Chain A
Amino acid sequence: MTIQHLLSNPRFVGGSILVLAFVLVAVAAPMIAPPNEEDAYVIPSGGIALHPTPPSAEHPLGMMEGKRDVVYGLVWGTRVAFKIGLPVAIGRALIGVMVGLISGYYGGPLDSVLMRITDAFLAFPIMAAVLVMLAFFGGGWLNIQIGGVNQVIVLALILFGWMQYARVMRGNVLSVREEAYVEAAIAIGATDRRIIVRHILPNASQELFVLVASDIGAMVVLAAMFSFIGLSRNQALADWGQMLNRSRNWIIGSPANAFQYWYTYLPPSVAIVLFSIGWNLIGEGLREAVDPRQRVVR
């Protein structure tokens, strides 16, 4: 997998451009939408309004009820998206890599026990896991909103989502362990740590990157879905899922025009879909680069 290889892959390039655009928005958030409350992740209210306000020169995408600017929510919501996607994907990868390494490298009864635990977690549907954790801890001590992100969701998505990483890692360890160069390393007395860090991890890293990239997009969608089905309603957070949840009241429009309030639900939807497409394209591009069988024949 070389850089040129990736840069000639249209999916990877397209995805990278999309994601890069989101990164820019997230970094420049204070410049694009200057916060005027102490918590920048709460969309500031410009006054009392029961209905959304249509777009104007000052508010290009209009305002939600309570005169909350849609653009502001989109911009700061980008930061929220990264604050969910990155920790979840990295957390999953860390746990999975640890479990897979230990399982594959040491083998024996430890391996069987760890793999049975992995199976049990695999049988636990992610939806049920997150729902249960939210019902249990959503109102309690764990429900800390750090920068607009509900940490219960992040924790639940990590705890119930590391299994695929563990399986990939274990498979890699098992195949690499048989390689001559690893035997050679053992023969010259390399330590376990050196073998793992120098020989096994680099070999597995490509597949892991594929998983991380597609997980980031998928996790942001999942988290948005949980805010959508009714979380943290007490504050108007700059969170794409929650913005969509609020817009549900306006999806019917008015008798004269069904699409009258399009600016309340269309912008956050587009943001979520583009974010997920971007990371998916990167993931698919990486996968094609890693696995030559998947390359499109031209």
Chain B
Amino acid sequence: MITYIIRRLLLLPLIMVLVTLILFFLIMQLPVEQRVSVYLPSSSAAATLDPEESARLVQNTIEKYGLDEPFIIQYANWLRNLVSGEWGYSPTWRQPVFEGLMQRVPATAELAITAMVPAVILALVLGSLAARYRNRWPDHVIQSAAFVAWAFPAFILGLMLMNVFYAWLGWFPPERLSIGVSISLTPETFRSYTGMYTVDALLNRNWTVLRDAARHLVLPALTLALAQWALLSRVMRSAMVDVLAEDYITTARAKGLPERRIFGLHARRNAILPVISTGGVAVSLLLTGVVVIETVFNFNGIGRAAAESIVYTDIPVAVGFAVFSCTVTVMASLAVDVLYVVFDPRIRY
């Protein structure tokens, strides 16, 4: 197993190179004046307003970074910058892209974790429950719920939830914190450890912030979780149905094992494999969901920043988000492959 994992790790840079090549091919379709913006390194560079001076700066940058060189050399330069954390300068943020993205990652991570943990657990539990009572009422209820949750696009669901739970009932407001609470936060009274408000509030023992941050998380996390739950519970159900038809389940029944043991030990462990394989799709769905849901709920994370980058044509941020999400996807597929080997009782290396 260890050699397999090492071999899989060695493949990682190759996939990253291929993915970034696609991205760089797109970048190269831009006129050189626009491509410069990805390279402009500092605030002074982009803040220059004098047209003559900025034209000279563009010309200098083209020469300095060799933007008229052949494709491969430019790609190598660009990749070197990426690896060293120089992801360009965002004109709308007035700040380097990498720094700006990293400031927004904790918010998105907080949202994603809050949504994914219950979604995955419920998908495993309800998915196998549906398979156990196949074609009886619990199955029909769960399957219908999954169908509806899957059919409702995140942005529509988000709007509806906001309409009911914010506009009408006033329970769960959008954004990350209420204005009153966020003003009260000063570096002296509230130390930022992770950037995730709920975790930081726990560490600071600040219950007002904890309650407020949790209240703001409910709706976006619910919206994000529903689609994930629908996807994974359907996979879990059909995997469970397949496994329950296997000979070894009949054998287990024949030798008189209690049903609970058959489900828990023999069936669920094998049925979880297709769910793991769905991890790649789930992560792709997560990235899409994060962009839309953060936009709907005005949640200041990396997804909303990505959506704004097309509204303001902020090319460095768009590229930065693409690099970020490609990295996440590639890492997720690595995790999927490793988990698969760990969980599959048949694969032994």
Give A contacts to B, CB under 8 Å: 116-117, 119-129, 131-139, 221-222, 224-225, 228-231, 233, 244, 247-248, 251-253, 258-259, 265, 269, 272-273, 276-277, 280, 296-297
Contact = CB atoms under 8 A, between A and B. Distances in A.
Interface string B108-121: 00000000000000
Label chain B's interface by main secondary structure: helix
Contacts of A251: 159, 162-163, 167
Nearest to B168: A258
B151 A133 contact: no
Given A136-B26, A136-B29, A276-B153, A123 B15 contact: yes
Contacts of B291: 127, 131, 229
Nearest to B27: A136
Interface of B: 15, 18-19, 21-23, 26-27, 29-30, 135, 150-156, 159-160, 162-164, 166-168, 280, 283-284, 287-288, 291-292, 295-296, 306-311, 313-315, 317-319, 321-322, 325-326, 328-330, 333
Given A119-B18, A229-B291, A248-B159, 16 more contacts: A116-B18, A124-B19, A126-B284, A127-B291, A128-B321, A129-B322, A135-B317, A138-B313, A222-B288, A229-B295, A251-B159, A251-B163, A251-B167, A258-B167, A273-B151, A276-B151
Contacts of A222: 288
Label chain A's interface by main secondary structure: helix
Contact of A128 (B15, B135, B326): B326
A296 B311 CA distance: 46
B319 A132 contact: yes
A229 B292 contact: yes
Q: Which has the most chain B C-beta neighbours within 10 Å: A122, A129, A228, A230?
A: A228
A-B pairs with lowest CB-CB distance, top 3: A120-B18, A135-B318, A258-B168
B159 A123 contact: no
Contacts of B153: 221, 224-225, 272-273, 276
B163 A127 contact: no
A131 B328 CA distance: 16
A233 B23 CA distance: 27
A70 to B, nearest CB: 16
Contacts of B310: 131, 134-135, 138, 229-231
